[in-house]
Homo-oligomer: A and B are copies of this chain.
Amino acid sequence: MDKLSVVKIGGNVIEDAEALQSFLADFTQMQDAKILVHGGGKKATAMAKKMDIPVQMVEGRRITDAKNLDIITMLYGGKINKNIVAQLQNLGCNALGLSGADGNAIQSVKRQVKKIDYGFVGDVVDVNVELFQMLINGGYTPVCCAITHDKKGQLLNTNADTIAATLSRNLSQYFEVSLWYCFEKQGVLNNIDDDSSVIETITPKVYDNLKEGNIIHSGMIPKIDNCFDALAYGVSKVKIGAPKMISGITKHTTLTLKDE
């Protein structure tokens, strides 16, 4: 089985031109087949402000109305995605940008309204694995923005972490997939105030101990639960750490099902 790396970057990389350039150089050097998944960070909020479009928040979560969806489509699908692709092309990586609508890459359904109407937000239901296989086998590197569609003509704002996890799960039928979550910290930390206290390996047993010892803070638990979900569905490894981890020279946390 060929190896495939699915790498997700967030706001801390997207919002810093130098960090992005450095990340893309490292990403280009990754030898396996690879997919990049990116969000847009705070750029959408800044642009909404500039265009006098109100951003509604409910319980700390952004509501995506039609005008904010337009902004997300312009930024994530347009400016950010196309500039990342152009930079990767310059570095020698044959990148090809995709929203979930392109080639029906990632299909979702508009999130059902229960207590809160999140607006044009999509929960992923299907991945066109044949498209990704064709592109990867053709030597292309898909660069996916955090937008999906419902196949009824509607684009939908979708969490980039979820897109990365779903792609990894679906492609693990055909590839040995490593899922890389790049974020602000060096990894899952033993001591949140000490960036060098990276826990290098988390197995289910280690995870139970960490939770029992109250070492992992509450914000990290749903993230790690999602990682173990991905592993349960066939993803080979999940890695959490700073963007530099993809170069292989910095410590980071690896999640795996194998208690050794």
A79-B74 CB under 8 A given contacts A51-B50, A97-B99? yes
- Interface: A82 (CB within 8 A): yes
CB within 8 A of A96: which of B70, B78, B79, B102?
Answer: B102
Which segment, of A6-14, A145-153, A218-226, faces chain B? Answer: A145-153
Contact B79 A101 (CB under 8 A): no
| Chain B positions within 8 Å of A74 at CB level | 74-75, 78-79
- Interface: A154 (CB within 8 A): yes
Q: Which of A105-122 contact B (CB under 8 A)?
A: none
Which segment, of A29-37, A84-92, A174-182, faces chain B? Answer: A84-92
| Chain B positions within 8 Å of A138 at CB level | 130-131, 134
Contact A149 B103 (CB under 8 A): no
Closest B residue by C-beta to A91: B153
Shortest Cβ distance from residue A121 to the other chain B in the assembled complex, whole angstroms:
15
Contact B149 A89 (CB under 8 A): yes
CB within 8 A of A95: which of B73, B96, B102, B130?
Answer: B102
Contact A153 B77 (CB under 8 A): no
User: Complex Cα distance A95/B94, Å?
Assistant: 20
| Chain B positions within 8 Å of A147 at CB level | 82
| Chain B positions within 8 Å of A87 at CB level | 153
The dominant DSSP class at the A interface is helix
- Interface: A56 (CB within 8 A): no
CB within 8 A of A82: which of B90, B95, B99, B104?
Answer: B99
User: Complex Cα distance A94/B77, Å?
Assistant: 18
Contact B77 A89 (CB under 8 A): no
| Chain B positions within 8 Å of A22 at CB level | none
Q: Which of A52-83 contact B (CB under 8 A)?
A: 70, 73-79, 81-83
CB within 8 A of A155: which of B70, B75, B86?
Answer: B86
| Chain B positions within 8 Å of A97 at CB level | 99, 101-102
User: Complex Cα distance A99/B79, Å?
Assistant: 11
- Interface: A140 (CB within 8 A): yes
User: Complex Cα distance A42/B147, Å?
Assistant: 25
| Chain B positions within 8 Å of A152 at CB level | 90
| Chain B positions within 8 Å of A155 at CB level | 82-83, 86
| Chain B positions within 8 Å of A50 at CB level | 51
Shortest Cβ distance from residue A20 to the other chain B in the assembled complex, whole angstroms:
12
| Chain B positions within 8 Å of A85 at CB level | 99, 101-102, 149
| Chain B positions within 8 Å of A79 at CB level | 70, 73-74, 77-78
Shortest Cβ distance from residue A28 to the other chain B in the assembled complex, whole angstroms:
12
